[in-house]
Structure 1
């Protein structure tokens, strides 16, 4: 994920779509036996972590914007 502090709604949406696509691709590769299970699990956990962090940053930014 980019290190800029400001997240526009468009960037948030794009990043969510990218992460969800990566997760789906990983699941498909796992099902097709073209990706080892351990690597797939690590990748899915990393995607979930990134999604959670993205949501938290977006919420913090929204809270900061509503105060000003």
Structure 2
């Protein structure tokens, strides 16, 4: 069961970055970047809140 959950998490992480081969382009200071519905670029802080960064950091993650 744990393997299935891990595979799902890894698949979602790859999908959130558009399947980019360059994983560095989908991170910011060690955080995975996400692109929102309206094109905002953000990551989740350690407290769980969204922290927005410049859209240029997500240009390879779409």
Indicate whether the TM-score tops 0.5.
Answer: no
TM-score, length basis structure 1? 0.30
More strand by share: 2
Larger C-alpha radius of gyration, 1 or 2? 1
More helix by share: 1
TM-score, length basis structure 2? 0.33
